[in-house]
Structure 1
Amino acid sequence: MRASTSTLSEIPSLFGVEGLVAVVTGGGTGIGLMIAKALEHNGATVYIVGRRLDVLERAAREHSRHGQLIPVRGDVTDRESMAAVAAAVRERHGFANVLVNNAGLATNFLPKLPGPGEADMKTYQALLWDAGTPAEFGAAFDVNVNAVWYASVAFLDLLDAGNRRGGGGATSQIITVASGGGFRKDDKVFSVPYTLSKSAATHLGKMLAHFLKDWQIRSNVIAPGIFPSEMVDGLISDEYVRAGVPLHRAGTIDDMGGLVLFLTSRAGSYLNGTVQLIDGGRLLLYPSSY
C-alpha cells in the first residue's frame, strides 16, 4: 500500500459540521445541552429531545445561535414516543447524520461503606442490600441501556438516509454517552445501578458498531467524568472535584464540545466502535476495567 499523498484538509473542512442534522436525547440540560450547543453553534441542525418540553423550549430560546435548536418532547423509555420523535425528524428533514443517546438516570446513591473494623457483616450486608431496589435497578437500565437500543433502532432508516445524502465526509453515527464510572470496580462508586447500567451502555455502543458496520453506520461511546449537570448538582463540591480529578477541575463545554466536533466531523470519520474517556484523569485514581 502506498502512502497517501492527498492534501490535509483545512480546519473548517476538517472539523466542520455545518449542514448536519443531529438528534440529542436529554438535550435540554447538562452534557446533552453542551453537545447540542457545540453542534448548533457550528452550523448543524439539532433536535433536542426530553420529557420536559418547557426545559427544551427554554434551552432553544436561550442557547440557540442560528435558530436551529429544535425542541421535541419525547420519553426515551417509551418505544412509541421515540418512534414519534423519529417520525417528526423524518417529516421535517427526512434524514439524520448523528444520533446522540445522552439521556441518563442515576438513582440511590451509595453511602461510604465501612470496613470490617468499623462494622459487623450484618451492617455491611444491609447497606449492600439497600444499594438499589429492583425498581431502581430497573429504572437505571430502562433509561441508560434499553432506551439506547430502542432509540438507535428507531433512527436507523434516517441515519441510512443520511449516508445516502452524504454527510460532509463522515458516515452517519450513533454516539452513546455512557460514563467513566462504568469502568470502576471499587466500592466508592456513587450508585451501583448507575455504574452497572453505564457499563452495559458502553458494551451496547460497541455491539451497535458490529450490528451496523455493513450499513456504514458508525457507533462510538463517550465516557465522561465529572461535568456540571442536574445529576451532580448539590452532590459534588469544588473541594471534592479538586481532590477527585487529577486536573483539579470539572469538565467544561469546550472539553465536551471539542470531542463532539471531532467525532461528528471529517476529523473523526475513521472512528468506529471506540470509547472516548474524557474525565481529566479521574479514572486513574481507582481500580477499573478501562
Structure 2
Amino acid sequence: MSINLDAAEAGFDMSGRVAIVTGGGTGIGLYLATGLAKNGATVYIVGRRLEVLEKAAKSFRGSGSLIPFQMDVTNEESIKKGVQMLSEREGKVDILINNAGTNVPSSQPDHATKGLEYFKQGKLPYELETFEGWSDMFKLNTFAPFFVTTAFMDLLIEGASSCAAKKTSVVINISSVATTLKAAYPGNSLSYAFTKRALEQISTFMAADLAQRKIPVRIVALAPGIFPSEIFDQLEGSETFHTQAPPNYISPVPLLRWGKYVPIFSHPLSLSFCSIYSTCYAPRPEEIAMSANYLVANEYVNGIVLPVDGGFTLVNL
C-alpha cells in the first residue's frame, strides 16, 4: 500500500474554510485562531471585548484572516444575532472552536487570591464556593459550548456539503487536563474541573448522537495543560511552574517548560506545515494550534478528548 503525501499535505490547507473561535482574542483561543488562519482559513474571533478582538486581528499576518466578531456566548439573543450575521456573511461554518471559559467565577474576582491563601494556611477551600459562583462557571464553561454548537448546527451542516475536499465539519471543545487530576490547583474554583468534565461528556455524547443520525459534523475536544494565557499569567508564581511543581501538585511538566512556539522543522508534521508556509522559517504554529489543526484535517477522528500537556498528567495525581 502506498501513502499519498500530497493528499496529507493538502489536508492542512484550509483555504475557503470558515472558522469561529470563541474567546479568540487572547491566549489559547488566539493561538488556535492564528493556527487556522495561517493555513488559509477565514477565522471569526469571538468575544465580548471588541477592542481586544480588533487588536488581535490587526496584528495578524498570513494567508487567511482574523475577523473581530463581538458576541456573548452566555446570552441567547447575542448567539442568535451571531448566527444570523454569519449566515448572511458566509452562509456556512466549517470549524467551530468553543474556547471561551474561565477558572474563577466572574462574581468572585478575588477567588484565586483567597484560594491560594487558604492553601498556604492549610484551610479547606470549600467555604469559598458559592451557588452563584458555580452557576457562573457552568454557564460559561459548559452551557455556552452546547448552546453555541446547537445554534450554529445548520451552518456547520452546510459547511460539510460546501467543499468537495472534505465530508464533515468539526466542533472542537476546549476542556482541560484538570478533568483527569485528583488534586485541584488552589487558585481555581473547585467547580472548574467539573465544568470541563461535563463538557467532555457533552462532546462524546453529541459526537455519537450526530454520527448515528448521519449528520456530517464531528465533535472532539482538546484538553490543554499549562499554556500562557490571560488567566495563567495572573496566577501567583506562574513564572516558576515550568521548573517546579505548582501548588498542590507533585511535579512540574516533565519537559520543564509550558506550551510554547516550536520550529516547524522539528515537528513530525513538518512536511505538511512547510508545504503550506512555503518555508520552514515562516511564522511558526503553536503546539496547541498544531493539535487543533490535526483534529480539523483528520476526518477519521471523532468523539475523542486529546490531552496536550507535555506529560503533566503522567507525573501528577
- TM-score range, shorter-chain basis? 0.7 to 0.9
1:233 aligns with 2:241: no
Q: 1:269 aligns with which of 299, 302, 307?
A: 299
Which stretch of the first structure deviates more once superposed, 37-46 or 190-199? 190-199
Q: Which residue of structure 2 aligns with residue 246 of structure 1? A: 254
Taking a change above 3 Å as real, the CA distance of residues 40 and 167 of structure 1, as seen in their structure-2 partners, is farther
Q: Offset of 1:238 from its aligned partner? A: 2.9
Query: In the alignment, residue 183 of structure 1 is paired with which amino acid?
Result: T
**Cα pair 1:181 1:189 within 8 Å, conserved:** no
Query: In the alignment, residue 238 of structure 1 is paired with which amino acid?
Result: E
SS in structure 2 opposite 1:212? helix
Q: Offset of 1:9 from its aligned partner? A: 3.4
Taking a change above 3 Å as real, the CA distance of residues 188 and 93 of structure 1, as seen in their structure-2 partners, is closer
Query: In the alignment, residue 136 of structure 1 is paired with which amino acid?
Result: G
Query: In the alignment, residue 248 of structure 1 is paired with which amino acid?
Result: L
1:173 aligns with 2:173: no
Distance 1:9 1:169 in 2: 15
Taking a change above 3 Å as real, the CA distance of residues 231 and 277 of structure 1, as seen in their structure-2 partners, is same
Q: Offset of 1:272 from its aligned partner? A: 0.2
Which stretch of the first structure deviates more once superposed, 228-237 or 163-172? 163-172
Task: Give the % identical residues.
Answer: 35
Q: Offset of 1:11 from its aligned partner? A: 4.6
Taking a change above 3 Å as real, the CA distance of residues 95 and 106 of structure 1, as seen in their structure-2 partners, is same
Q: Which residue of structure 1 aligns with residue 133 of structure 2? A: 136
TM-score, normalization by structure 1? 0.88
Q: Deviations over 1:155-191 (max 9, x none)?
A: 1000010111126325101100011112211254542
Query: In the alignment, residue 30 of structure 2 is paired with which amino acid?
Result: L
Q: Which residue of structure 2 aligns with residue 111 of structure 1? A: 116
1:217 aligns with 2:249: no
SS in structure 1 opposite 2:6? coil
Taking a change above 3 Å as real, the CA distance of residues 114 and 264 of structure 1, as seen in their structure-2 partners, is closer
Q: Which residue of structure 1 aligns with residue 85 of structure 2? A: 88
Q: 1:198 aligns with which of 192, 196, 199?
A: 196
Q: Which residue of structure 2 aligns with residue 257 of structure 1? A: 289
Which stretch of the first structure deviates more once superposed, 218-227 or 243-252? 243-252
Q: Which residue of structure 2 aligns with residue 148 of structure 1? A: 145
Q: Offset of 1:242 from its aligned partner? A: 1.9
Query: In the alignment, residue 31 of structure 2 is paired with which amino acid?
Result: M
Q: Which residue of structure 2 aligns with residue 278 of structure 1? A: 308
TM-score, normalization by structure 2? 0.81
Q: Offset of 1:227 from its aligned partner? A: 0.6
Give the paired residue count. 274
Q: Offset of 1:102 from its aligned partner? A: 0.3
Taking a change above 3 Å as real, the CA distance of residues 170 and 251 of structure 1, as seen in their structure-2 partners, is farther
Q: Which runs of 5+ in 2 are unaligned?
A: 105-110, 245-251, 262-285
Q: Deviations over 1:13-47 (max 9, x none)?
A: 13222221100000000000001101111100001
Query: In the alignment, residue 249 of structure 1 is paired with which amino acid?
Result: R
SS in structure 1 opposite 2:69? strand
Q: Which runs of 5+ in 1 are unaligned?
A: none
Query: How large is the RMSD of aligned CA atoms in angstroms?
Result: 2.1
Distance 2:172 2:187 in 1: 24
Distance 1:166 1:220 in 2: 20
Q: Offset of 1:207 from its aligned partner? A: 1.4
**Cα pair 1:37 1:64 within 8 Å, conserved:** no
Distance 2:28 2:159 in 1: 24
Q: Offset of 1:49 from its aligned partner? A: 0.5
Q: Offset of 1:282 from its aligned partner? A: 0.8
**Cα pair 1:18 1:44 within 8 Å, conserved:** yes
Q: Offset of 1:112 from its aligned partner? A: 7.0
**Cα pair 1:17 1:264 within 8 Å, conserved:** no
Q: Offset of 1:217 from its aligned partner? A: 0.7
Distance 1:138 1:179 in 2: 19
SS in structure 2 opposite 1:15? coil
**Cα pair 1:242 1:248 within 8 Å, conserved:** yes
Q: Offset of 1:216 from its aligned partner? A: 1.7
Q: Which residue of structure 2 aligns with residue 20 of structure 1? A: 17
